[in-house]
Amino acid sequence: MKILIASLILMSPHEALATQAHFEIPVILSTSQTPALSTDLKVGIGVGFTQFPLEFYSFRLGYGTLVTLSPLFWHGTKEVYTSGVDMELDCRAYLAYAFDGSVISFWPYVVLGPNANLKVTKINVFDESDRSYRMDYGFRGGGGIKVRFGDFDVKIESAAGFGSQGLSLRTTIMFGFGIF
């Protein structure tokens, strides 16, 4: 492993390790579908950072973490419904390829990493209500592309997941400033 990393560093045309850190506050729109029946749509705000400590030619190897907070949409009837909040922590490793231009940049990438999710659901039935707390965890792997227009970034990603909720497929759109 050390020989591999040393070789990659020596191969790099850059004199020193390039470190690109991105502090991110994206707006996140994602749909997640588990096998049969269940499709979630989440709209949330995230905060996190991504760093690319390794660079060789145009490849970028990095890691990051993101915390996302999303409201659970009201669902049901006026008298019997659920609402709540969803909090997700993603830790991810990235391998990207940078097509950097002066006006626009494209970074297609693959991603892999664990995630944990806490869902707090409020159940309302006429005059009564209660809360349930559900924790899920798993791994996600997939790919996407980040496009940068000047300072504005858009990232579209699809990732397959496996974890305590079984299999899932998530498609995410993130946009904001400073996302990797």
Partner 1 sequence: MRVLTPILCTLFLMGCGPNQGSIPVQIVAPIDNEMTRYGLRVATLQRMSDFSQLKGERFIFRAGRNVPWSEYAVASENQDSFESVRSTLSKKLALDPVSPRFSWNGDFYGAADFDSLYMATAYYWFERVADFFQDTVKDTSVATHIPVVVSVYGAFTSKGFVKVPTGFADNSAYQPLEDIFRMYRVGDQEGVPFEMNPGVIAHEFQHRVFHKLVFETKGKEGYRLWKTFSSTNSSLKLARPRALLRATDEGMADIHALAFSRNPNFLAVSQPHSDSSREEQRNLESEFAKVATYDNLADSSIEAQFLNDCNGESLNYANPSWRFYCLGTVIAKTIWDASGNDVDVLRLHYLPVLNRCFAALGDALLADFANYDVDVFWRILLPKLDADARLPLCANIKLRFQSLYSRIPECV
Q: In this complex, which beta carbon is closest to partner 1, that of residue 15 or of residue 79?
A: 79
Q: How far is the CB of 82 from partner 1 (least distance, A)?
A: 4
Q: In this complex, which beta carbon is closest to partner 1, that of residue 106 or of residue 136?
A: 136
Q: In this complex, which beta carbon is closest to partner 1, that of residue 11 or of residue 36?
A: 36
Binding-residue pattern over the window 87 to 126 for partner 1, x denoting contact by CB under 8 A = -------------------------------xx-x-x-xx
Does 137 participate in binding partner 1 (rule CB under 8 A)? yes
In DSSP notation, the chain reads -HHHHHHHHHH-SSSS---EEEEE--EEEEEEE-SSS-EEEEEEEEEEEEEEEEEETTEEEEEEEEEEEEEEEEEE-SSEEEEEEEEEEEEEEEEEE-B--SSEEEEEEEEEEEEEEEEEEEEEETTEEEEEEEEEEEEEEEEEEEEEETTEEEEEEEEEEEETTEEEEEEEEEEEES--
Binding-residue pattern over the window 62 to 81 for partner 1, x denoting contact by CB under 8 A = ----------x--xxxxxxx
Q: In this complex, which beta carbon is closest to partner 1, that of residue 6 or of residue 43?
A: 43
